[in-house]
Amino acid sequence: MLTFFSKIFVWWNQETLGTKLKTIFFGKFVGSDSSGNKYYESKAGKRWVIYSAEIDASKIPNEWYSWIHFINNRIENNHDLEKYDWQKPHQSNLTGTADAYHPNKNNEEVKKKYTTWKS
């Protein structure tokens, strides 16, 4: 019963009932990315994404970012978009998580390169 209410009212959990109905009746499936996100477009030209897991806009990879924001109308297929060996795979924003960057993450003492003249 709780999952039914969360599907209806809770938009941050997954798609709501309204989004599900809009996708079924008006959405045309355009494609999906390597993370499992699914991309849809309506006849009127509106575009939206159904996330595979937690909803976070930083999970949209570069190939789909330009399409969803109308920067480029064609979808960058894997053979069109050349990836180099030195490029890392797409990663969502890690701010606020344990994997976020922090310069003193291991709590090591920062050694000063100078000494103060006041003691």
What pLDDT is stored for residue 29 in this prediction?
A: 94
Q: Is residue 111 part of a domain?
A: no
48 is in which domain, residue-wise? 25-78
Does 105 reside within a domain? no
Phi-psi region of 11 (alpha: psi -120 to 50; beta: other; left: phi over 0): alpha
Residue by residue, pLDDT tens for the chain (119 residues) are 556 666 666 655 667 777 888 888 999 999 988 888 999 999 998 999 998 877 888 888 887 888 888 887 666 554 456 778 888 877 878 888 888 887 777 766 667 777 878 76
pLDDT at 7: 61
- Region of 70 on the Ramachandran plot (φ > 0 left; ψ -120 to 50 alpha; else beta): left
For the CA atoms of 16, 21, 26, 27, the dihedral, rounded to the nearest 10 degrees, stands at 50
**Domain assignment present for 47:** yes
Residue type, 63: E
